[in-house]
Structures are given as C-alpha cells and as structure tokens.
Structure 1
C-alpha cells in the first residue's frame, strides 16, 4: 500500500509539473510587432468586427491574441494613440503592432508606425527564454507600391520613383523607369526583394541576436485578393479592358511573391525563425472557401459609410459590431441567418473578420 501511495504521489507530482505547478514552464509570454492585422487596440478599437467591447475583455480576439491565450499569456497595446500620429508607450504591454504599420514608413521613419522601430523597441526591452515573438508586415508596403504605380499616369511616375529610391540605387531606378511599364514592373519586384531583405535583417538584429527563442513571421498575402484591390482592378477592367486588369493583377501578385521568396530564403536554415505562408493560406481560402468554413471571400461584411478621395468605399470599425451585423437583414444570398457574417472572410475591404483571424491563428499554430 505504501508503494502504491508513492506511485500515486509521483504521478500526481508529474501531472502537476505538466500543468505548470512544477519545473515545466507552460506560460509563454507573447510579443508582437506589425500592422493593423495584429493591433490589439492602439486607437481604441481593433481592425475587425467589434465584440461587446472594443478592446480588452469582451473584445474580438485577433490572431496574436488567440495564440497568446493558448500559451497562457495575454496581450494589450504597447502604444496608445493620443492623436493620429502621436503615441504613449505602456511598458507593461507587449503588443507593439500599430494599425497602418509599414516596414518602410515613408512619412515618418522614426515613428512606431514603422515596424522597424517597433522591433527596435521590442529588442531594447529584451527577451525571456519562454517568449514567443509574432511578426507581420509588408501588406501596407505592397499596397503603397501598387498605388504609386497606378498614380504614375497622373504624376509622371514621381511618387513611384521616390518610393523606389528609398531602398534601391537611384541610377538603377532611373534606368528601369526609362524602359516604360516593363521596367516599372521589374523595378517594383526589385523593391519588394530589397524590402524583404531589409525586414529579415531587422528581425535578425533586434529579435534573434537579442535572444528571442521563437520567432514567427507571417509572409505577405497577395493583396490583389482583397476586396479593396478587387474594386481597383474592376475599375481598370472597365476603363482599359479585362486583359489590362489581368496583366496588372499578375504584376502586382509577382511583387508579393518576390517579397515572400526572399523572406523565406532569408530564414530557410534558421532554428529560431519560422515563416508562416499566409499568402498560400489566403489563396487556398479564396480557391476553396468551404474547406475553411467560409461562404464569402470577396465582399466586406461591415457596412459602407462613405467614399475616400479615390472613390473607394469607406468603413467605420468602431460602429461595425457583432450585434449590429446580426441585427441587420442579411445581404442577398447570405446564409446562416443572423450569423451570416461569421462565415465571411473580410470585415472591410482589407481586414479579416473574426473567422479570418481564427484561420490566421490556425496557420501560426501549425508552425509553432
């Protein structure tokens, strides 16, 4: 009987250790850098359909928060906006991501809206042996590049050239732009490759070399699959014909692929950094929505509230709530009754719904 009690006690101690009561650590603090896809509420809301609260308890869990919760950790915004462009830092919070974040933040390179600056701040704070670092970025950079390319007809390529020369040799840019649209397309690809190399170097210097034990980076999804660029390409098709729109879609998708190939190669042999193929995941969702429990991957769920300066639809996240969507009459063709929006992929024209965030978390979870 004494022997049996000893076995039971030993088993209990092992179970306790496995549950965090002994020497096995199961709490993994999560640290985040990125853009609106990963922002926990810098501006007082999240860039998705809002829950019963905009931030904190009751708010919609976004993908890094789902991962944090599963690792017995929690997230709150490190930066709190006091205006559109000024922020206070909260050192108790470890989600450095800010809506509008860019790798190459042209307007203010030293602002924390720069993902480079976010990573520098995170690295300066240091890492623990149990930390998980989650990073996303590049989607807004790709969108900026596309918009500058499309504006070339109006500004004779000035904004496109200015953007390119922030990471490429000016002489190379000048030579390529002199070749017309073919050279412009090639220059865009070189820009995205250089940006990925720069991004990888920033991650290595400020996370890996500073002791971050596990780093997960999402690659860039093909932004032409978002409703925003669906609207843009549809307008081009109407003005210039379907063939022109298809060609541009291929060019823009090629730029994203150039970034992702370079980013993946940068960490191919890393034992610390893993790259999640968010691009491949989004393409799979669009190709076979039912496989992911989706019924709509093209239309934003949030209501349109106006138009921006370029004529694209505008949305208001603070008023796009789960309760409001469930209370409205479902759009024509939508299924699921009041829960119709729960199987849609996009909340507005560029950001995922809560279901979209769950699917992003799935992709990260598999890699972890």
Structure 2
C-alpha cells in the first residue's frame, strides 16, 4: 500500500501542478502564498551552476545531472534539477548560482576566479558538507578539479551578509545537505581500512616468506633472522617492489645454506603461499578496521544532522524565514555507488543516513515554519518499485565516460550511454537525472501543498 500511495502522491502533485493549485481549496487556484524569491542551501543535488565556468562550461556542463536543454531531442532532457522545477511552478525566476568559480588546475582550465553574484540566491555547491569546509573534490583533496565546497553554515552566513542579516519572511528557503558528509567519512574510513589491510598483508607476506625459506636453511632459527632482516632492509628502500623483496629474501636464504632456493621452481611456490597469506591477512585486517571504526561514522552523521537542524532553527528561522523546506537525505545506499559496496558497507551507509535524518527531523520538530520532506522514504521506494513512477532503470547510470570519468558535472546528451535513458533514475553513480529531479520537485511541492503553503 505504501508503494502505491507514494506513486499516487506524485501523480497527484503532477495534476495539481497542471491545475496551478491544490485540490482542497476547491475552485480557488490562487496560490496560498506568493513567494518573493527562492533561497537554496545545500550541495550538488541543488547546485545550479557553481562550477559552470572554464573547462566545465566549455564541455557543456555545470550541473550534476544530464546537462543542457535538449527537449527537442527528448522532452525529459531539460537539464534542470529539482530546485529549478520548484521555482518554475512557484512562478519565480530561474535560480542562479550565488557563487561561481574553481580553484583547480589552470593548465586544465579548472582555475577560474571566484565570483559572487549579487542577485542570485542558490548557494548550493557540489561537494559541500554541513559545517566542514573540505568536501569531496575540494582543492585540498583534488587539486586538479578544485571544487570550492563552501559548507552550508558559510552559505547561510553569506546570504545573511548579502541580505542585511535577516530573511524577508516572504521567500521560500530550501535546504538539502549531508550526502557529502556520508561520502567523505566513508572515503576516509575506506582509505584507513585499506592502509590497515596493506600493512597487515605486508607483515604476513614477510613472515610467511622468511619462515618458509628459513626451514630449508642449515640453521633455521639463525636463517629466519637474517632473511627477516634482508626483507626489512629492502622494504625500507625507496623504489622497492615485491620482486626485489623476494630477491633479497632468497639471496639471504642461499647464504644461510638453502642453495636450492635460488631456483624459480623452488622459491615460486613459497612466494605464492606467502602471497596467499598476505591476501588473507590483509582482507581480515581491513574488514576488522572498518567494523571497529564504522560506528564513528554513524555518530558523526548524527552530529551533522543535529548541526543542520540547529542552523535551520538558529540561522534561518530565527533570522526571519517563515517557509523553510528541509529535505531528508535520500537513500544513498540505494544509489549505484552504494550498491557497488559490500553488504556490510551498505548497512553502514544506511545506518549513517538514518542517524542524520533522525537528528535532523527531531531537531526541527515543533518548528511550524519548517517543513520536513522525507526524501529518503520516496527515493528508497523508487529504487525498489520504479514502474509506478515512470522510471525505467534505477541501477545503471545514464552518463557514460567523459572528461571527468563518468561525473554528471560534464554529462550531456552527447556522452550518455546508448539507448533511451530519459527515464533513468541516476545520471551518474549518485546524482539524479532531470526526470528524477522532476519527481523530487513534484513530491516537495505536494508536501508544501499539504502544509498549506500552496
């Protein structure tokens, strides 16, 4: 029943949009609220062109979806994200990026001075987190691309500085963030787990190799020490490889009396056994590290959700905003990126998203000027039950290879995969297509209608 109700809700929203108002108000289709502007804070899901400069612009990109108005090719190829659809339905000007620019490589065309646009009120930036300034692809971690990733806390401060320290009370404010906190924390955990696995694997390889070679020497105990020292010395040398480490170990074994070890037929199986031991030890150590430290990610995302709720209350509503749409994080684990992870990692992502959404929802509970929109529930339902929404694919990204890998930032109709991708859910491994953005917008508008704002 729930799946059907979600799909029917979107259909209802589409009908209401076509009629220009909401059903409960009878024949009066005059909007309940006439908004003066749309002000947006968030990340790539709401970004309308922060990075549409330099090479990104030259490639026809700038938004994290299938870029470009190609409605003459397919009516769904609008190049719009959900904030643009909402603004159009509310009769507001098309959103424009409050800040543009890149801090990346000048040689690659990704170094463009940051510009602040006075009459633009979409502050959302790809890579932005809630309060942390360094997000995915920030110049500090990706100096080539160099995204600015201004966090939401600063985005709000920038708007208040522009607007005299307050909101007018007649604008609609949208907030959607937290996804990059998940991705950044998960990336850091995976990097650390890989390092732990690599270290454990190297130790296991050296131990197994030395033990096996020493067993054939004249004095195994003494040989084990000399072979171990040879391995340690070579491993510390700049430019060493697995091959040079094996050569050093075999040489030490020969000197210790195991002359047959010099033959590939002899040391080959020994090396293979050592490599197997290394793989097993590395896999176990990496998994153990992730399991032991995964809870910290859930805690961190709960903190981020609480921080975003506090910003909504103390820096948006308390500063005069009367209509604040606060979106939950969508189902990150259900994206192609999430599904590419192990089962344990998918559970970790789901737990982190739940912690964020729970703290966000609880943090704004009772705030009559805030509307909590459960994007998690509907996106999760779309992934598992796509047909009623008109979605034809919820597992494969529509964007093919491009100059930034497969990033939707420079995805256009010219580099999507073969076939009809107009009703795909995902443009790349995490970002929605224009069609999915239209579904998000419809759902947001429906919730606004239910709140009595439309």
TM range (shorter): 0.7 to 0.9
Matched, 1:255 2:295: no
Unaligned runs of 5+ in 2: 1-27, 53-61, 71-76, 105-110, 139-147, 198-287, 449-454
Gap change, CA 1:291 and 1:25, over 3 Å in 2: closer
- Of structures 1 and 2, the one scoring higher in RCO (CA 8 A, sep 6+) is 2
- Are the counterparts in 2 of residues 104 and 141 from structure 1 also a CA contact under 8 Å? no
1:331-346 matches, cutoff 5 A? 340-346=420-426
Tell me what 1:42 maps to. Answer: 50
Tell me what 1:60 maps to. Answer: 79
Give the deviation of 1:180 after TM superposition: 5.5
Give the deviation of 1:91 after TM superposition: 1.5
- Are the counterparts in 1 of residues 64 and 408 from structure 2 also a CA contact under 8 Å? no
Gap change, CA 1:219 and 1:316, over 3 Å in 2: closer
Q: 2:407 aligns with which of 294, 315, 322?
A: 315
Matched, 1:73 2:100: no
1:273-288 matches, cutoff 5 A? 273-288=370-385
Give the deviation of 1:71 after TM superposition: 1.3
Tell me what 1:154 maps to. Answer: 194
How well do the aligned residues superpose, as a CA RMSD in angstroms? Answer: 2.7
Gap change, CA 1:30 and 1:180, over 3 Å in 2: same
Tell me what 1:121 maps to. Answer: 158
For these two proteins, the number of residue pairs brought into alignment is 294
Q: 1:354 aligns with which of 418, 434, 437?
A: 434
- Are the counterparts in 1 of residues 134 and 149 from structure 2 also a CA contact under 8 Å? no
**What secondary structure is seen at the aligned counterpart in 1 of 2:401?**
coil
Matched, 1:297 2:400: no
Could you tell me how far apart the structure 2 residues matched to 1:358 and 1:59 are?
10
Q: Over residues 79-121 of structure 1, what are the superposed CA-to-partner deviations in whole Å (9 max), with x where a residue is unaligned?
A: 0115448521111011111111111334389x66211100112
Matched, 1:227 2:336: yes
Gap change, CA 1:25 and 1:353, over 3 Å in 2: closer
Q: Over residues 19-66 of structure 1, what are the superposed CA-to-partner deviations in whole Å (9 max), with x where a residue is unaligned?
A: 69xxx863441100111110111111211111238xxxx962211111
Tell me what 2:116 maps to. Answer: 89
Q: Over residues 234-293 of structure 1, what are the superposed CA-to-partner deviations in whole Å (9 max), with x where a residue is unaligned?
A: xxxxxxxxxxx2222112211111111111111121101112111111100011000110
Matched, 1:201 2:310: yes
- Are the counterparts in 2 of residues 34 and 96 from structure 1 also a CA contact under 8 Å? yes
Give the deviation of 1:348 after TM superposition: 1.1
Q: 1:137 aligns with which of 166, 177, 182?
A: 177
Tell me what 1:188 maps to. Answer: 297
Q: Over residues 277-326 of structure 1, what are the superposed CA-to-partner deviations in whole Å (9 max), with x where a residue is unaligned?
A: 111111000110001100100111111237x8xxxx533643x323665x
The TM-score normalised by the length of structure 2 is 0.60
Larger Rg: 2
Give the deviation of 1:229 after TM superposition: 2.7
Gap change, CA 1:204 and 1:25, over 3 Å in 2: closer
Larger CA deviation: 97-106 vs 133-142: 97-106
Could you tell me how far apart the structure 2 residues matched to 1:316 and 1:265 are?
33
